[in-house]
Amino acid sequence: MSLTLPRGTPTLAMPCPGGGSSAANIRGDAVKKPSVGDSLLLAGPAILVVSLFLPWHQRCVAGGEFFGQVIPRECVEATGFESPSWPWIPLAVVVALLMAAAVLARLSRPPAFLDGEWFEQAIPVGAIVVATMFALKVVDSTAYLAVGFWVGLVGTVLVLGGGGLHAFTPGDGTTPGVG
C-alpha cells in the first residue's frame, strides 16, 4: 500500500534535513534503494545472530552394550554462546550489527556524521574485523563443528562480501557506478 497524492493537492512543504521537503518524504523519495552490498550487510548480521543459538560444537559418544546393559548414544552440544572460544563470535556479531545499523540509518535518513569518506572506509574495515574474529574462533577450536559454525560462516562471508562491495563501489556505496 502506498500513499499517492493527486496532482494539484496542496501540501505543507517543510524543509527536511538533507534537502527536499516533507512532501517528498511522504512519497518515499528520501529513502534510498539498498545496493547489493547493503543487502549483504543487512543479511549477514541477521544470519550471524541466528547462528549464535544453533549448536557450534557437537560431540557424540556411541552407544552400545556393556555386560548386557544397553548404553544409549549421548551427544553434548555447545551453542555460539557456549563455544570454547565464545568471546570471538558474539563480538563479531556485535560489530556486524553495528555495521547493519549504520547501513540502515544511511539508507533511511542519513545523519550528517554518516556522510563522508570515513563511513565508506569504516564498512570494509568492520567487515575485516568480523572475518578476523571468525578466523580467531576457527584457529582456537575446530573440534567437532556443528551446524551453527557453518551458518555463521555463511553470515561472515556475506558481511565480508558486503564490505568488499562497499570498498570497491564508486560513489556512496548505495548506487553502484554513481560517483
Q: Which amino acid is at 5?
A: L
Q: How far apart are CA 4 and CA 108, in angstroms?
A: 19
Contacts with 120 (C-beta within 8 Å, 6 or more apart), sequence order = 166, 167, 172, 173
Rounded CA gap, 133 and 136, in Å?
5
Q: What is the pLDDT of residue 60?
A: 82
What is the band of 169 on the pLDDT scale with cuts at 50, 70, 90? confident
Q: At what angle do helices 117-140 and 147-168 cross, to 10 degrees?
A: 150
Backbone dihedral angles phi then psi of residue 76, each to the nearest 5 degrees: -120, 130
Mean pLDDT of 100-107: 81
Average pLDDT over residues 21-25: 45
Contact 40, 159 (CB under 8 A): yes
Supply the pLDDT for residue 155. Answer: 92
Mean pLDDT of 51-78: 82
Average pLDDT, the chain: 75
100-to-46, 76, 111, 138, 168 alpha-carbon distances in Å: 9, 33, 15, 24, 18
Give yes or no for residue 32 having a pLDDT over 50: yes
Of 45 and 35, the structure prediction assigns the larger pLDDT to 45
Q: What amino acid is encoded at 132 in this protein?
A: T
